[in-house]
Amino acid sequence: MRVFTGTLSDGRTAADERVRVIPEEDGLRIVHIDEGREEVWPRDVLVTSGPLLKGHDTLLSHRDRPGTRLHVPDPALSGILLHRVPRLGSRAHHRRILLPLVGLAMVVAAVSAFLLLSDFSPSRIIAGMIPEQARTAMGDMLARSLAGKGGFCNNPAGNRALEHIVKRLAGNVPGGARPYRVRVARMDIINAFTVPGRQIVVSERLVTMTDSAEELAGVIAHEMGHAMEIHPETSLVRSLGISTAI
């Protein structure tokens, strides 16, 4: 019986919980190390925002728990899951990505006449109609692409401090009750990025360069403003040329 170690996030906070993951025939048995309890994720609730690749980290979500993320860095688990749950692979994932895009095309066709008479930005209006699931999926892929091989930092104390900052900021902005996900990536640049789905990526070097928590909070607040105004989604729509086409 293989036992893997990983982290579990409930999507409501920036903190990650340490877990052990045991692959079984009917799904995954997850042992919460600090709480001393177990649970089983059946095969049919295992979902991914991106295709599961053999020999890479495993990043899973629970179908019935939006925002939940299970991360196992050991590449051996991905091979086991691809053998037992083939739908987590790239072929099935491509089909899932196409469905939201088809839905988006239908929305564009339905509102094109309205947009011709509207004073608002067509790109922004279309971006606001992108399904939430598609925004999250695109944001996850872009965030991982930005992080690259360095991946994301997983320091418990740092996560708690980041969670405190995000909670405080979210309570002071319109729509703050909606979850924001902020992660620190090991990038050799000093910058922060907002990607679709209210997700923010901050470089580790930027964090170390800030002189105080308030200075870091100012950076995150600026990026939350972009997320609130759906600027990343709008930029994607504009780059695809959809608004120009209509």
> Which pLDDT score, from 0 to 100, does residue 112 have?
63
Question: What is the percent of the chain where pLDDT is above 90?
Answer: 25
Three-state DSSP state, 180: coil
> Which pLDDT score, from 0 to 100, does residue 177 have?
56
The rounded distance, in Å, linking the Cα atoms of 4 and 27 is: 14
Stretch among 24-38, 42-56, 94-108, 224-238 having the lowest mean pLDDT? 94-108
> Which pLDDT score, from 0 to 100, does residue 10 have?
83
> Which pLDDT score, from 0 to 100, does residue 128 have?
78
**Which band of pLDDT confidence, cut at 50, 70 and 90, is reported for residue 232?**
confident
Look at strands 192-195 and 4-9 and give their pairing.
unpaired
**Which band of pLDDT confidence, cut at 50, 70 and 90, is reported for residue 245?**
very low
* Cβ(109)–Cβ(168) below 8 Å: no
Three-state DSSP state, 52: coil
> Which pLDDT score, from 0 to 100, does residue 77 have?
94
* Cβ(71)–Cβ(57) below 8 Å: yes
pLDDT digits (tens, 9 = 90+) for 61-110: 999 988 888 999 999 999 999 999 988 887 655 555 666 666 677 777 76
| Average pLDDT of the segment spanning 142-158 | 87
Question: What is the distance between the terminal CA atoms of the chain, rounded to a whole angstrom?
Answer: 56
What's the mean per-residue pLDDT of the chain? 83
Q: Is the pLDDT of residue 166 over 90?
A: no
| Average pLDDT of the segment spanning 190-212 | 89
> Which pLDDT score, from 0 to 100, does residue 244 have?
46
DSSP-assigned states of every residue in 82-97: HHH-GGGSHHHHHHHH
> Which pLDDT score, from 0 to 100, does residue 246 have?
43
Handedness of CA 100, 102, 105, 110 (dihedral sign): negative
> Which pLDDT score, from 0 to 100, does residue 78 have?
92
| Average pLDDT of the segment spanning 161-168 | 86
- Which domains can be identified in the chain, with CATH numbers? 4-88 (2.30.29.30), 99-233 (3.30.2010)
